Amino acid sequence: MKHFNNKKQKNSGFAEIYGIHPVVAALNNKKRKHKKLIISEQNKDLLSREILKNIPEINQISNREMTRLYGSENVHQGLILITTELKQPKIEEILIKSFNKKNEIVVMLDQVTDPKNIGSIIRSCSLFNCKTLIVSKDNAPNITSSLSKSASGSIEVVNYIKVINLSRTIELFKKHKFWVCGLDNNKKISNKNSNRNIVFPKKCLLVVGAEGKGLRLLTKKNCDEIFSIPTVDNNLYKIDSLNVSNACSIALYEYYKKNEI
């Protein structure tokens, strides 16, 4: 992309979102204030007047000009929105809201850094009614254009909270009656230390490790239980692990179908 920049925007507090699903979702979010919409000629009838009236500046340009300025249509899909960034809640606010809930699952990522994987996990969270994703402030990306597109609009409904210390955050959840389950596909885990039968508690902090690396030792020690998803390895072609977003989706589904949150 020629103009897309995943670093801080010059206009602090504003974000650049592209792609049909992410842009439409952002436009429907009343918590955002929109600045400008750039739309290709072929998409001029895609959005309703009701939505468009909330955008102070709309630039409709030809398909050719859109490609020249912003690159392949496969990436931006003819829609680019400049809008305010979403304000994320604090961990303490999440825990206060969860106090009277019987069922709740929160996902925490350990060493997962790829924006597309994180975006896919956010999408799965929204589909399985998980409202919060926690990541490390030092290792995880900010909410970028790429992450938002991978989330396919789900960034509007799932909290994305960055914390300084994962272990301290885990301890905080424990104090608020959450059971901490670690999902680790690291092949170095012994069968004695890993449970292949996923049985989730009612209130669960699901900690997911990266592909290959798995959970860090300190993170693992702070978990109440470690799970792994049984798979059949293909040794000939060296296919031996699930993509982290797929593994997280399976775990979220297992929780959802048993708790129906």
Are 101 and 32 in a shared domain?
Answer: no
Does residue 2 register a pLDDT over 70?
no
Q: What does the DSSP 8-state code read for residue 111? A: S
* Tens digit of each residue's pLDDT (9 = 90 or more) over 50-73: 888 989 999 999 999 999 998 888
**Average per-residue pLDDT in the chain?**
90
Are 75 and 109 in a shared domain?
Answer: no
Are 137 and 20 in a shared domain?
Answer: no
Q: What is the CATH number of the domain that holds 183?
A: 3.40.1280.10
Residue 65, judged by CB atoms within 10 A of its CB (0-12, 13-18, 19+), counts as middle
Are 140 and 24 in a shared domain?
Answer: no
Residue 135 banded pLDDT, cuts 50, 70, 90:
very high
Instruction: Name every residue whose Cβ is closer than 8 Å to that of residue 201 and which is 6 or more positions away in sequence.
Output: 178, 179, 181
pLDDT computed for residue 112 by the predictor: 95
Share of the chain above pLDDT 90, in %: 72
Are 100 and 48 in a shared domain?
Answer: no
Residue 124: inside a domain, yes or no? yes
Q: What is the CATH number of the domain that holds 21?
A: 3.30.1330.30
Residue 6: inside a domain, yes or no? no
Using the Cα atoms of residue 65, residue 66, residue 69 and residue 71 in order, give the sign of their dihedral.
negative
Does residue 90 register a pLDDT over 80?
yes
Are 78 and 111 in a shared domain?
Answer: no
Distance CA 23, CA 88 (A): 19
* Tens digit of each residue's pLDDT (9 = 90 or more) over 99-132: 999 999 999 999 999 999 999 999 999 999 999 9
pLDDT computed for residue 213 by the predictor: 83
- Rounded mean pLDDT, 208-217: 90
Residue 257, judged by CB atoms within 10 A of its CB (0-12, 13-18, 19+), counts as exposed
Residue 181: inside a domain, yes or no? yes
Are 180 and 55 in a shared domain?
Answer: no
pLDDT computed for residue 164 by the predictor: 96
- Domain-ending residue, one of 67, 84, 101: 84
Q: How many domains does the chain have?
A: 2
Region of residue 158 (left: phi > 0; alpha: psi -120 to 50; beta: else) = beta
Are 182 and 63 in a shared domain?
Answer: no
